[in-house]
Amino acid sequence: MTFNNQKLYGYIRVSTREQNEDRQLVAMKKFGVPSENIFIDKQSGKDFKRPAYIELLEKLKPTDTLVVKSIDRLGRNFYEILEQWRLITVEKQAYIVVLDMPLLDTRYQKDDLTSQLISTLVLQLLSYVAQIERDFIHQRQAEGIAAAKAKGIRFGRSTKDKPDNYEEVFNEWRKEKISAREAGRRLQVDYKTFLKWTRNK
């Protein structure tokens, strides 16, 4: 699918490698973005050192259209979202479509001052809300961690309990009858875990 005989691109970002991009991907394909024109970054939005995003910007030409699922895919805060919007629409002279907010579709606003005004106001409001929501999430996380620590809850990986046959296996390893890897196999743990236990004995 093209608009004004130009290319249609999609950009997807998930904040960590554990998150799934399927929801955004389905929305892109439903809109008509070709699979080969969808760029995906699976990392934090803490900065714009994102390889797929950078590659996309290099390909974006005047009157091409960039599709995103939601406005916060473009930046981590109010100012970054507005800056990326300006970069794409003004410097690149490309269009933007935000699937979650139909009012943010710049393809039809070139000569419509009312639509441009509404789009600008909506963009600034949504960008502000995205930053406030992110700030609230960080605040709640910090408060939750502080409350848990106050209750004596420890964070990080818990210490694995030693199996009942640990002493027997340890003694064989100490007498050099078996290797650390064999000891780990018998204890059903990684040999590094076994060696860590031996140091803490």
Which residues are known catalytic residues?
15
Q: Tally the residues of the chain.
A: 201
User: Encoding tokens for residue 154?
Assistant: 């420890």
Going from the C-alpha of 187 to that of each of 35, 158, 190, 191, 193, the distances in angstroms are: 48, 18, 8, 9, 10
Residue 9 bridge partners (DSSP): 66
Separation between Cα atoms, residue 76 and residue 133, nearest integer Å: 11
CA-CA distance, 105 to 98, in Å (whole number)? 6
Angstrom CA distances, 194 to 103, 147, 172, 177, stand at 59, 34, 13, 15
Element (H, E) at 40: strand 38-42
